[in-house]
Structures are given as structure tokens and as C-alpha cells.
Amino acid sequence: MTTAQLARATETPRPARPESPPSGPHPGPRRVRRRGTPATTLLVLVAVATMVPVLYVISLSVRSRDDVLNGGLLPSRLFWQNWPDAFHALGLGRYIANSWAVATGSVVLTLLIAVPGAYFTARAGRRGARLGSLILSSYCAPPIVAILPLFFLLRELQLNNTVTGLVLVDGLANVPVAIWLLDGFVRAVPKDIEEAAWLDGLGTWATLRRIVLPLIGPGVAAAALICFFLSYNEFLFALSFAQDSSSQTLPVALSLFQGDKSVQFGQQAVVSLIGIAPVYVLAVAAQRRLVSGLSAGAVK
């Protein structure tokens, strides 16, 4: 073999050059952008539309009463006195504390009843289905029909004009909603897991507490948030069963700014913003857990 042939045999082959991408336009990404633009525009419009009422309430909070009665969407002159006047007029801190106490206590009571109730409706077959239908049918009646019997019941229990009475009423009133939400989560838990726990010696309550409850945690969180918002915004029961200011909640305080001949629009707007702000922050902070919880239990 000659020297030239030996050199060609031992020469390392060079890697092939990658083909250069075509210099023309890339239609794929552009199509994605064109499809995403209408959706983004629609979401922006929806966000602006939902923010319009809040922005108008902010505008009312810095306007005098005469400025509000003159009409218009924007204040002609900023009037900041509504903010200190709103705090001094009612003692706003007490109403806010009552609202949070009622909402938190009612959520705890609701979940204590709804979690085993949803487990029964999901696992008890025909009897559970009948119980679920009965509970949901009770929620279809307007709340006003329960005012009179609940009033006499709370009076017998000496719970009228108390935060405890409102916790009891709101907590029981939200049980159908919580059971309806949690039923789908319990059905999504495979029965084989429970049967394995029973073979290990766990009873029904222990299986619910140690096996099922951790698996339906996202659903419990979503149900707790929704019941919290319902109790926090409740007005009819708070107005009917709490005539004393020591147990009244923030929605009732809003109604106190409306008199027979005059309405303090600016101060009422201030109280509205103060009531909205913490709940809005809570909803935004728990948005991912709320959405994931509701979507996880959407399919039964």
C-alpha cells in the first residue's frame, strides 16, 4: 500500500455540515401569534369591564355628596375627608372583625359536616344519592322562608345578637354547597385504596381521616374558599339575627350609611373598598389552588 493510500485510509471523516434553514418566513409561529392576539384582546376587554365598577367605587370614595349628585364619572375635585369620616362614623374595625370571625367560624363548621356528608353521598350508593338530593333541594328554597323559624330557634338557644349565632346559621346554610363540591372529589378517589386500608385494620372514620381526606385536599381548599366568600358577603341573616352593633358584620354596616333622606355615597364607597380589598387579595393569592381544585373535581 502506498503512502497516499495509507493516509486516505487513516483520515478521520469530517462531519456533514447541517443544512442552513430556509431564508423564507416561518409560518408556524406567526400563525400562533395571530391566533393568540384575538384571545388576548378579548381577555383584556373582559378584565377592563370587570374593573369598571371597582374604579367607579374608587371615584365615589374621593367625591363629596354634592359632586356625586351632580352626576359624572370622575370627581370634579378630590375630597379625601370621606376616608376619616367613614372610620369615625361607625367604628369600622368592629364590623370587619365580626365579618372575619363569622366567615372563618362558619367555614370550620361547614367542613366538619360536609366532609363526612360528601363521603356518605359518594360511597353509600342509592341511600347516598337520596341524601344528596335532599340536601341540595333544601338549598333551592329562598333564604327568606327560613328567617322566622331560625329567629325563634336562636332565641331559644340564646344566640340572638351574637357572633356565635351567625356562625351557626351561615355554617349550616353553606353545607349543601360544600357537599355538592366535595362529592366529585370523593368519587375520584379509587375504592381500591380504601379497601386496602380496611384490610390493614382501619375503620371507616380512620380511612376517611387518614386516607381520603389528604387525597381530596384541593377540593377541601376550594370548598373552604367558596364558603368563606359566601359567609363574608351574607347580608340577610346578619341583618335579621344581629340587631346589636357588637355582632353586626360589614355588609350590615354598609346599609347604615343610607338614611331616610340622605345617603353618604362617599363614605359608603370607602367602606366598600375596605371590605373588598382583603377578600380580593385572598382570592388572588389562592387563585391557583381554587382553580386547580375545582377543575380536579369537575369530572365525576
For residue range 191-222, what is the model confidence (pLDDT) as tens digits?
Answer: 888 888 888 888 889 999 999 999 998 889 98
CB 82 within 8 A of CB 72: no
Question: Mean pLDDT: which of 52-61, 200-209, 224-233 is highest?
Answer: 224-233
Residues 6+ apart with CB under 8 A from 59: 73, 74, 75
Question: pLDDT category, 14, cuts 50, 70, 90?
Answer: low
Lowest mean pLDDT among 25-34, 108-117, 212-221, 251-260: 25-34
Is pLDDT above 80 for 25?
no
The predicted structure's pLDDT at residue 220: 92
The predicted structure's pLDDT at residue 26: 53
Q: How large is the average pLDDT for residues 141-155?
A: 90
Q: How large is the average pLDDT for residues 9-31?
A: 52
CB 92 within 8 A of CB 253: yes
Percent of the chain with pLDDT over 90: 32
Instruction: Report d(CA 128, CA 139) in Å as an integer.
Output: 17
Question: pLDDT category, 51, cuts 50, 70, 90?
Answer: confident
Q: Which domains does the chain have, with CATH numbers?
A: 84-296 (1.10.3720.10)
The predicted structure's pLDDT at residue 292: 66
Full-model pTM = 0.80
Q: How large is the average pLDDT for residues 47-66?
A: 87
**In 3D, which of 59, 92, 60, 81 has the Cα closest to residue 263?**
60
Lowest mean pLDDT among 45-49, 163-167, 198-202, 291-295: 291-295
